[in-house]
Structure 1
């Protein structure tokens, strides 16, 4: 059984070299993340071109995820680059300050004084430094240090419980959407969306730029959790962005939220990426901790489509080893997990779409008869997406002549995309697919295989055929 859970790797200084990138893809990377918080438009375009050249050379589908920076909710810089705060110290966040000192620091996010009031708790960095607001006077936010530590330049700011009004899409993001469309990114991740309106705006800008990428909403604000259902409806998938989310809602709340978000996304046929500190220790270590392995395995058992590496592959000492560790973890978790047929399917009152009905009929058949493989002939990838939500123990090979669909399906759990030439006659296409599977050793004479496709061509999947393979 091929590995079902997909792996996303962030590119950076440790993984930009083509030789390293080739090793990452050979090791099992299915999607690369371009972090638009760093680098120029040309940098991202060059990296995308390199990824696609290597993927084509290796004959593997690799999707490109363009991750927008989002609003810079950060402090400014210090004259000395960093200071140390102690519990009980008073400290001022000043939107008018240019270079910080021991007493105050400037703000990249100039609206902060309008977003807080006495009693609010601000968390800096990854929440290691906590400040309680005492008063707001003009551009100045007066605080008392609750938990101190070393505070360095440009650390992020979160408010406990949410409530910062920064828009999800900045002027930079709007330009970056144009860049992502031009390099034909397969997915775009929108940082800090608070509602469906943020995702609708991103899609409007993307369409205006001529792009057709899938939109991934990064769930990292308290407001996003409250508005999860509408955000899911407006998106093609979500990223469980556990770093900023944990700072806002508290570490202890994240595991249950992760499970809930993945469950809700699956029920709505949306893809999910679980991110942040998956193998964090491997930035400096060639092996993960047991806790990290357990964390990644639990995400797999939760049903996530993909797990993501951030600093591990972007700046770590062992990027290839981190991918290999994830592959081992995913495979073992999948072996121990049961085939997932969701309660939504089992308890559904009825299906509204023909392609959904066909897919669900195949799910039922796969649980009651011995199938060696499923071959989904698809143009848009929709039938493959339906199958990816429910099929667990039968390999699903999604055949398409669309390069765009081929790459996009690289993120779907349990789906193995295959690019084939355009064949006008459907029966000839089925014979071509059968020959491909036989030649690759995926099936053998006498095996039972299911095929789904649309008739006439261009229609959604409306046909299901199951038959025993004969050698041709």
Structure 2
């Protein structure tokens, strides 16, 4: 695989059959997202088993990301299923309303009247409908329609500028964490975190639930609340990565603010040795069309050029008419964009100091392999940390990360430019290096005459013990 940027794809009705799932994995999916906003626990368990079996049949390493629903801040249901709101009309949101009509709607989130005041603006259905709050009377929010349109059952509500007090983790999320740990999800995506505390609680719950299975997932913070922006550094420290979730975030901070925020978040994540996924409407038109728009092509390409680890597909592969074609199109855009990436390795190291031996070895391997124009960089790694550090910098050669731990191999599928490979290590260093070269030659990653840089740790098998860099050439 020549592509460095990874692809996350959501599976749903359009992609849950063994045949389609196999085709999208072969087309280039690296991480499968299970959206816990839909389906029940058994649905997700069955799909996780299917993903594992299909990936094995394809000879691919594919991770699973369990994406928690988070708080449901939505309108209730309507008589007839939908209504039409006219600009200038009065409309009431009532936490005690059971079934709505053209004048009033119920609320799934019963505390919304406590979170808003006169003058606030509420944005419904991804911002397509805008309501101005005129007054709050007990359980009722009296509003005037600023931008009207069709409103159907269970559409989302955002407050412009943020400020909703709903907790990031609901009772449903806590139960879903237990489900995700039962099938050992590699990544757990937490919706609507506002602070590092939200992520720390999610990690504690996941570690407790995963203990019975000997499993600890990596945590992804979905940045979709306005409050998360000033707390971004703290959230990053408490997480293994972030998702630039542009849908709800755009509704809260405004569409125009999102592109610059996206660049800032990608840069911060890379600087702090965290992974980053760019998501939401990347190939939206391909839900119904066989080819993307030119704007979508540019959107994906710009995320790649910004340095994102992965680009994500949601409804395009979960419910769209062309899930396989969408993955193929996204993969080709990534490859083409990567051809024009700016290499700035020397600048990356200016004014940088490394206090850890393993981190220093990883950086030395990058720098040396880059200047010697090696064919590849190879890391023998238990935890995957060495490969993660290497993946934060752009080089033209691939990084092959060999690990005996299946959990580490799957986690590394999300790291940009890292090709994870499962391999059991010999306790003898020289024998392990020999095994690695044989395996990579067998897999056509290396050929006779190729030079490469390889890192490992002594004694073998100790996490965090990378302390050796060797320059090699394939002679057999």
Give the shorter-chain TM-score range: over 0.9
How many angstroms does 1:445 deviate by? Answer: 2.2
Q: Which of 400, 411, 420 in structure 2 is aligned with 1:397?
A: 400
What is the aligned partner in structure 2 of residue 463 from structure 1?
A: 468
Q: How many angstroms does 1:259 deviate by?
A: 0.2
Deviation readout 1:77-135 (Å, 9 max, x if unpaired): 00121110111000000001000011100000000000000000000011010000000
- 1-side partners of 2:366 and 2:422: how far apart? 24
**Residue pair 1:342, 1:390 contacting (<8 A) in 2 also:** no
Counterparts of residues 70-219 of structure 1 (less than 5 Å): 70-210=70-210, 211-219=215-223
The CA deviation string for residues 359-417 of structure 1, in whole angstroms up to 9 with x for no partner, is 11122213321211111001100001001111420111111111111111000000001
1:264 aligned onto 2:300: no
Look up the match of 2:329: 325
Q: CA deviation at 1:342?
A: 7.9
Report the alpha carbon displacement of residue 443 of structure 1 after superposing the two structures with TM: 1.9
Distance across 1 between alignment mates of 2:143 and 2:297? 39
Tell me whether 1:338 sits opposite 2:369 in the alignment.
no
Cα deviation, 1:135-168, whole Å, max 9, x if unaligned, reads: 0000000000000000111010000000000000
Match of 1:17 in 2: 17
Match of residue 42 from structure 2: 42
Which residue does 2:308 correspond to in 1? 304
When structure 1 is superposed on structure 2, of 86-95 and 421-430 the one drifting more is: 421-430
Deviates more, 1:288-297 or 1:420-429: 420-429
1:426 aligns with 2:448: no
Partner Cα separation in structure 2 for residue 265 and residue 273 of structure 1: 10
Is the 2:369–2:376 contact (alpha carbons within 8 Å) kept by the matching residues of 1?
no
- 1:37-89 CA distance string (max 9 Å, x none): 01111110110111001111111110000000000000100012111011100
Q: Mark the CA change 1:340 to 1:155 in structure 2 (over 3 Å): closer, same or farther.
A: farther
Distance 2:423 2:463 in 1: 18
The aligned residue for residue 229 of structure 1 is: 233
| Maintained 8 Å contact 2:381/2:463 | no
* 1:357 equivalent among 342, 355, 360: 360
Distance 1:17 1:449 in 2: 41
Separation in 1, partners of 2:323, 2:345:
34
Q: Which runs of 5+ in 2 are unaligned?
A: none
Is 2:450 aligned against 1:447? Answer: yes
**TM-score normalised according to structure 2 size:** 0.97
Q: Distance in 2 between matches of 1:447 and 1:193?
A: 46
Q: Offset at 1:459?
A: 4.2
152-161 or 354-363: which moved more? 354-363
- In the alignment, the residues of structure 2 paired with residue 170 and residue 8 of structure 1 have an alpha-carbon distance, to the nearest angstrom, of 25
Q: CA deviation at 1:344?
A: 5.2
Pairwise CA RMSD of aligned residues? 1.1
Corresponding residue of 1:294: 298
Cα distance in 2, alignment partners of residues 178 and 444 from structure 1: 45
- Using the alignment, how far apart are the partners of 2:32 and 2:350 within structure 1? 35
Q: How many residues end up aligned between the 2 structures?
A: 470
Contact 1:363 1:391 in 2 (8 A): no
Q: Aligned equivalents of 1:443 and 1:207: distance in 2?
A: 38
Name the CA distance, whole Å, in 2 between partners of 1:298 and 1:162: 27
Instruction: Report the counterpart of residue 380 of structure 1 in structure 2.
Output: 383
User: SS where residue 100 of structure 1 aligns?
Assistant: coil
1:435 is aligned, of 421, 435, 438, to 438
The DSSP-based 3-state class of the residue aligned with 1:226 is coil
Could you say which residue in structure 2 is the equivalent of 1:51? 51
Contact 2:365 2:454 in 1 (8 A): no
Pairwise CA distance, 1:423: 2.3
Q: In structure 1, how many angstroms separate the alpha carbons of the residues matched to 2:199 and 2:301? A: 30
For residues 161 and 292 of structure 2, what CA distance do their matches in structure 1 show? 32
TM-score normalised by L of structure 1: 0.98
Q: Distance in 2 between matches of 1:280 and 1:175?
A: 31
CA contact (8 A) 1:93 1:141 kept: yes
Matched residue, 1:251? 255
**What are the ranges of 5 or more consecutive residues in structure 1 without an aligned counterpart?**
none
